[in-house]
């Protein structure tokens, strides 16, 4: 991580054109990481049923727990990056741990599964929040091109997610589970390699926060972080083996995170910085609601797709679960860069909506999408089978909601957080995703029929009733955000 001939921060941030060139390095690194992550995630539930002999219910519970842990660990990864490692080293360490995790499972899928997943959780925790923070560092405060940059970065995320989900599931189902996890490991090696080769272009961005210490003192502190990571292995391992612990974990980590946030907040000297942190916190809380609804895609919507949809998408014969699993990433790839350019265009005309309004729009799209999921009931035949076209339209709409909230959320967190808390705040943003996943499971379970013999028309009515409820709550959240937007805008000071 030396800086010879590396650009200065000034040079990086004074880029011309729409995107800073360094964004591509982070784009590809994150694309490979998400390939690995979504590849692993895509095979998880099926693998646990087929290889580990879990029932569907156990597999679903474990899947939810693993997702929650992955995103919860980003909070810890973010803090360690701020305090000790810096983003670059964090990324490198996290990447190596993810590679090890996937290799372990590849070599011995049955025996090493939980151990490998534990490493994936720790690795992702160190990797995921910190790469997003580095994207934010490419921009000067007040640069209106930042949201567009995150939009492009978000497209990279989804290209990785799309390819990883497709390739690993294909390899796992038709060849061997070892190949699926091996592919995830190889792709992650490419990701870490991409980062190593291009990191010099990031200049001082992501360097250690302990530059002022001697090399040996710094190393000692870093060693403690690595030691902590090793010590946390048995803990995480135990918690994913027994999902009863997930509830306790979720009840604990959130309050602890809030206490830690308040502690850091109270140490923040300037009033505007304090206000900005409160605004960031409000965005984080709303994002929990968003993800709790949005993540029905992995749960109730995939069951709905399996049972209640026909196979006709615009005249093509296609499995509705394939549509359920891929259409969102597909639409993100298609529309994310485009929407980014719309933001830049609106900013040029001085009519770009501010972030609170964008968040509000995100919820309005979410509401519209769930209304369309509800409306599928009006297209059903007497057997309870309904239109895949209408279902896909809902995915198109929900994707616009995601694009108004998720990349914009990453961006606003980097705008509102003081430099020394950047990693932790990004970790909190993803911790909200952990809660979103967790609540999504509870909501989905609440919507499914307790009666295993329920007929398809009954299931259709139950699920779509649930979606109507979600549409109403999303609408309320959206309106609430827009109504309180002047208040939040005040807390944000000059940040838009
Ligand atoms: N799909 C995005 C990603 O993988 C957002 C995930 C989230 O925050 N829940 O990065």
Q: Is the predicted pLDDT of residue 5 greater than 80, yes or no?
A: no
Maximum Cα–Cα distance across the chain: 74
Share of the chain above pLDDT 70, in %: 99
Give the mean model confidence (pLDDT) for residues 359-364: 98
Give the mean model confidence (pLDDT) for residues 485-490: 96
Give the mean model confidence (pLDDT) for residues 432-440: 92
Q: List the structure tokens of 367.
A: 């509401």
148 CA → ligand 1 middle, Å: 17
Q: CA 6, CA 202: separation in Å to the nearest integer? A: 7
Q: Which of 55-59, 226-230, 361-365 has the lowest mean pLDDT?
A: 55-59
Q: Smallest Cα–Cα separation from 251: which of 470, 63, 72, 446?
A: 72
| Residue identifier of the C-alpha nearest atom 9 of ligand 1 | 433
Where are the alpha helices (H) located in 81-214, listed in sequence order? Answer: 86-107, 109-137, 146-174, 177-198
Single pTM value for the model: 0.93
Tens digits of residue pLDDT in 437-487: 889 888 887 887 667 678 999 999 999 999 999 999 999 999 999 999 999
Ligand 1, residues 406, 407, 408: which to mutate, most atoms within 8 A of Cβ? 406
Q: CA 86, CA 491: separation in Å to the nearest integer? A: 28
180 CA → ligand 1 middle, Å: 21
Tens digits of residue pLDDT in 53-99: 988 778 878 888 898 999 999 999 999 999 999 999 999 999 999 99
Q: Is the predicted pLDDT of residue 3 greater than 70, yes or no?
A: no
| Residue identifier of the C-alpha nearest atom 3 of ligand 1 | 157
Cα torsion through 432, 282, 408, 437, rounded to 10: 20
Q: Is the predicted pLDDT of residue 118 greater than 90, yes or no?
A: yes
Q: CA 23, CA 207: separation in Å to the nearest integer? A: 17
Share of the chain above pLDDT 90, in %: 79
Tens digits of residue pLDDT in 173-206: 889 999 999 999 999 999 999 999 999 999 999 9
What is the chain's length?
A: 496
**pLDDT for position 44:** 87
What angle, rounded to 10 degrees, do the helices at 388-416 and 320-348 form? 50
Average pLDDT along the chain: 93
**pLDDT for position 449:** 67
| Residue identifier of the C-alpha nearest atom 2 of ligand 1 | 157
Tell me the domains of the chain and their CATH numbers. Answer: 17-492 (1.20.1250.20)
Ligand 1 atom closest to Cα of 291?
Answer: 9
* Rg, Å, the chain Cα set: 22
Q: Which H or E run includes 312?
A: strand 312-313
Q: Which residues of 448-461 are buried (b: 16+ CB within 10 A; e: fewer)?
A: beeeeebebbebbb
**pLDDT for position 1:** 46
Q: Is the predicted pLDDT of residue 112 greater than 70, yes or no?
A: yes
Q: First CA to last CA across the chain, in angstroms? A: 33
4 CA → ligand 1 middle, Å: 35
Which DSSP category does 14 fall into? T
pLDDT confidence band for 4 (50 / 70 / 90):
low
| Residue identifier of the C-alpha nearest atom 7 of ligand 1 | 433
Three-state SS at 313:
strand
Is 386 or 448 the better-scoring residue by pLDDT?
386
């Amino acid at each position: 991580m030396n800086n010879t001939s590396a650009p200065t921060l000034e040079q990086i941030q004074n880029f011309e054109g729409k995107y800073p060139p360094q964004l591509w390095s982070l784009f590809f690194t994150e694309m490979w990481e998400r390939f690995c992550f979504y590849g692993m995630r895509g095979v998880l539930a099926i693998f646990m049923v087929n290889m580990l002999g879990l029932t569907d219910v156990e597999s679903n519970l474990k899947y939810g727990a693993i997702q929650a842990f992955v995103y919860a660990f980003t909070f810890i990864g973010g803090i360690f990056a701020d305090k000790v490692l810096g983003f670059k080293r964090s990324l490198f360490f996290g990447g190596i741990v993810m590679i090890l995790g996937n290799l372990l499972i590849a070599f011995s899928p049955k025996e090493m599964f939980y151990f490998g997943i534990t490493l994936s959780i720790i690795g992702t925790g160190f990797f995921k929040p910190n790469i997003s923070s580095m994207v934010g560092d490419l921009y000067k405060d007040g640069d209106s091109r930042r949201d567009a940059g995150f939009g492009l970065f978000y497209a990279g995320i989804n290209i990785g997610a799309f390819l990883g989900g497709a390739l690993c599931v294909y390899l796992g189902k038709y060849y061997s589970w070892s190949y699926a996890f091996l592919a995830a490991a190889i792709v992650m090696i490419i990701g870490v390699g991409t980062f190593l080769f291009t990191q010099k272009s990031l200049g001082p961005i992501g360097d250690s926060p302990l530059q002022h210490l001697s090399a040996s003192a710094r190393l000692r502190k870093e060693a403690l972080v690595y030691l902590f990571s090793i010590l946390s292995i048995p803990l995480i391992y135990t918690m994913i083996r027994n999902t009863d612990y997930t509830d306790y974990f979720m009840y604990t980590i959130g309050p602890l995170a809030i206490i830690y946030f308040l502690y850091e907040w109270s140490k923040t000297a300037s009033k505007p910085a304090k206000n900005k942190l409160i605004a960031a916190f409000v965005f984080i809380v709303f994002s929990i609601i968003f993800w709790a609804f949005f993540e029905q895609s992995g749960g109730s919507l995939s069951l709905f797709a399996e049972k209640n949809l026909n196979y006709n998408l615009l005249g093509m014969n296609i499995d509705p679960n394939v549509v359920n699993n891929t259409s969102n990433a597909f639409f993100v790839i298609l529309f994310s860069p485009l929407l980014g350019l719309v933001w830049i265009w609106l900013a040029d005309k001085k009519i770009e909506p501010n972030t609170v309004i964008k968040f509000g729009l995100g919820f309005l799209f979410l509401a519209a999408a769930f209304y369309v999921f509800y409306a599928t009931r009006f297209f059903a035949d007497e057997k309870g089978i309904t239109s895949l076209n209408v279902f896909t339209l809902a995915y198109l709409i929900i994707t616009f909601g995601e694009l108004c909230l998720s990349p914009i959320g990453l961006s606003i967190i980097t705008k509102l957080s003081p430099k020394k808390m950047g990693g932790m705040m990004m970790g909190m943003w993803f911790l909200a995703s952990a809660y979103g996943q967790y609540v999504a499971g509870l909501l989905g379970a609440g919507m499914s029929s307790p009666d295993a013999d329920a007929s398809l028309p009954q299931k259709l009515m139950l699920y779509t009733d649930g979606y109507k409820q979600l549409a109403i709550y999303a609408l309320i959240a959206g309106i609430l955000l827009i109504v309180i937007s002047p208040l939040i805008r005040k807390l944000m000071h000059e940040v838009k």
